[in-house]
Chains A and B, each alone.
Chain A
Amino acid sequence: MIDFELTPIMKMAMEFTHNYARDVMRPIARKYDEEEHKEPTEFIQKTHEMFSSMGFSFSTARAGEEKEEKEEKAESSEKHSRPKMEMNLLGAISVEELAWGCPGLTLRIPGPGLGGAAIMAAGTPEQKKRFMKVLVGSKPSYGAMALTEPGFGSDASAVATTAVKDGDYFILNGTKIFVTGGDMADLYVVWATLGKDLGRAGIKAFVVEKGTPGLKMARLEHKLGIRASDTAEVVLEDCRVHKDNLLGGEKKEEKGFKGAMQTFDATRPMVAAMAIGIARAAYDYIYDDFVTKGGLEINYGKALHKRGYLETVFEDMEAKINASRLLTWKAAWMLDHNLPNLKEASMAKAKAGTVVDEITQKAIELYGPEGYSRRHLLEKWMRDAKVYDVFEGTGQIQRLVVARAILDYTRKELK
């Protein structure tokens, strides 16, 4: 039965995260944009305490696995028991609000992160339990995803980092770049190949714990936006990882690369939701000036010849945000209900990535010279926005995924 009514928990989460974004994140958004690489220590601690006291974490999961998790939950600390079901939709609703506050700081919020999402998508029940305990612990912690390398971005099958079996261990060698939160992670999900000749089947994910000898953070990127969130280059030099840390276990051959891809089913709707949050931030900012204070009237449904340019621009922005949000909610909801959402997740991400760039650019144009100034956050949001059409799969990759799905084409049929 088609329904758009949010549950009381969702409404509460929306209100709570919005207030938090407004009162805690917005006031420091500029500071951590200007002071790139400076750790927002107080924010991290405060946010961690806040969310863990609420039993809240933004991990994503498939419905089936959520159930598995719940059964195992009995013995884990009750402090971390999460509100049941629909974690993806709840997550989408919440991160939209947080990103409205500051997308960079949102990515800095401790929690399972992308590494956690990969563990949830590709791990065995035992691994999920073991690693999530680390990621949803009493002190702020973070799970990072180390997939991209200097030699590839979108083509994840080109993994060059090697994993060589040595008894009960695998020895990892390679360089990983663009690791979100790579400076502060407690766990890294590192994608490596068991042998180039094995192709995609040889690509596996290994959980590498902070402090493992041979794992080192090489440098931090200097970025266009989301500067409050650090992006690191991570080098693995003869890094020994126990075979129990191979996600999905040694025998489940098929889970490796597919596991990485399944991570995206969960993360893409979240990334889309964050993009929508940024678009809304820019929209709200100029709305406040033009409409609330400036008296501009937006006459929805009025004859076009009677409407001014500005009001139609505002309406179009709002409509695009709404359209994008509905696509995102649908993708998240499908995952919550264990429905295959590969296509929908990519649709949502592609749309949101386009919409957020368009809206943040336009907002500056409407604001005039002042919009270009760092006195206002508009210029920051436009810089922040750009990465949303890039990370977790570029807009082009999203279109490729959608196109293959609707055409029922393989990678060979549609390159």
Chain B
Amino acid sequence: MVSFELSEEQALLRDTCRDFALKVMRKQDRQSDESGEIPKEIVQQGHELGLTTGYLPEAYGGAGSELSAVNSVIVLEELAYGNLSMTLHILAPSLFNIPVMLYGGEEQKKKYFGMNKPDKFQGFTAALTEPAVRFDIEALKTTAYDAGDDFALNGEKAFVAIADSSLATLVFAKKGSGEGLAGIDGYILPAGAFAIKEREKNQGLRALKQFTISLDGSRVPKNEVLKLSGGFATLLARARTASTALTTGVCKAAYEYALNYSKERVAFGEPIASRQSIAFTLAEMATEVDAMRLMAWKSAWMLDKGMDAYKEAAMGKRYAADAAMFITRNATQILGGHGFVREHPVEMWYRDARSFAVSEFMAIV
């Protein structure tokens, strides 16, 4: 039965995350963007909300809450509404834990989930994107070569979030040659098993530590391989659904800010919001925020139902990334010159929002 209403539990989740976004993340977003550092306490507080590991099974020391894509998109929207860089840092462990939960063997779960601590944030991450112009997920250049007892990984990965502080990194690499998603598996590498190169410097996401890493024959024992058995497409659908939700959050932040500003800013004797050119733009922004949220919900719901959400997720992600440019651009436009200066956060959201169309696997549900 169709419903657009959050359950009580989901509403509580939303409110908790929104509270954290506004009262904690927003307080230090500009400072973090300027300094390139996210205060450790914020990450720790996010962790204590149960956001990073809440879904880990009790048997492995987790809280055992159900892994629900719908719940996750609700969380992701609210956190990204606070700050995108912080969200991607706090939720980086899911990039590792969720694939392990879905495709990992008993031993792997025991080993890695056991490394998570309820009271302390533990870094985990995944490495997918490569430093290539026109990066193509279907033509991964990082290879896994069967060297008998273990695999040898060769290649370079880029934009790996918190690689410097992760206990383990899930590296996606391909066996054999040829294009397509087939043959892609996850390879678990502990800290120190690969070289961390430079820290990425991006247009946006400046507070998030991302790195280029180099795999120069790094060895991965066979029991540390996360065999996806064709499940990589599902992981992508889960990551793209997450992307749509993150986009919704950033867009909602920019839209709301512009909305409030337009009511306060007076020109020609009245608030600029009382002019149709501003008001209509805001109406369209509001509509697009709603539309992308519904698309995120829909593909998340499909994932939870066990349906194939590959197409829905890809389409939603692309739609949202496009609309995000419309929304954040117009948010800066409505603020006029004030939208261009770093005193207001809209320019930061405009920069952050550009990432969605070009990034894969920023977060996962």
Contact = CB atoms under 8 A, between A and B. Distances in A.
Interface of A: 1-7, 10, 86, 89, 300-303, 305-306, 315-316, 318-320, 322-324, 326-327, 329-330, 333-334, 337, 344, 347, 350-351, 396, 398-400, 402-404, 406-407, 409, 413-415
Given A402-B286, A407-B259, A315 B1 contact: no
Contacts of B23: none
Nearest to A330: B4
Contacts of A329: 2, 4
Contact of A334 (B4, B274, B297): B4
A350 B283 contact: yes
Contacts of B3: 1-3, 333
Interface of B: 1-7, 10, 70, 134-138, 236, 240, 259, 262-263, 273-274, 276, 279-280, 282-284, 286-287, 290-292, 294-295, 297-298, 301-302, 305, 310-319, 322
Q: Could you tell me the dominant secondary structure of chain A's interface residues?
A: helix
A302 B318 CA distance: 11
Nearest to B233: A301
A7 to B, nearest CB: 6
Contact of B138 (A303, A322, A351, A413): A303
B134 A303 contact: yes
A7 B302 CA distance: 16
A297 to B, nearest CB: 13
Contact of A3 (B135, B240, B301, B316): B301
A414 B305 CA distance: 44
A399 B284 CA distance: 7
Given A3-B1, A6-B2, A316-B319, 9 more contacts: A4-B297, A5-B305, A301-B240, A324-B291, A326-B291, A327-B291, A350-B287, A406-B283, A409-B274
A322 B279 CA distance: 25
Given A326-B291, A406-B283, A414-B279, A4 B301 contact: yes
Contacts of A344: 290
A7 B3 CA distance: 11
A96 B237 CA distance: 28
Contact of B7 (A1, A301, A403, A414): A1
B283 A318 contact: no
Contact of A407 (B263, B291, B298, B317): B263
B136 A303 contact: yes
Specify which of B2, B236, B240, B316 lies most central, judged by the most chain A CB atoms within 10 Å of its CB. Answer: B2
Contact of A403 (B2, B280, B311): B280
Shortest 5 CB-CB contacts between residues of A and residues of B? A301-B314, A403-B279, A326-B294, A402-B283, A323-B291
Contacts of B305: 5
Nearest to B255: A406
Nearest to A327: B291
9 contacts: A1-B3, A1-B6, A4-B2, A10-B2, A300-B311, A301-B314, A333-B2, A402-B287, A409-B279
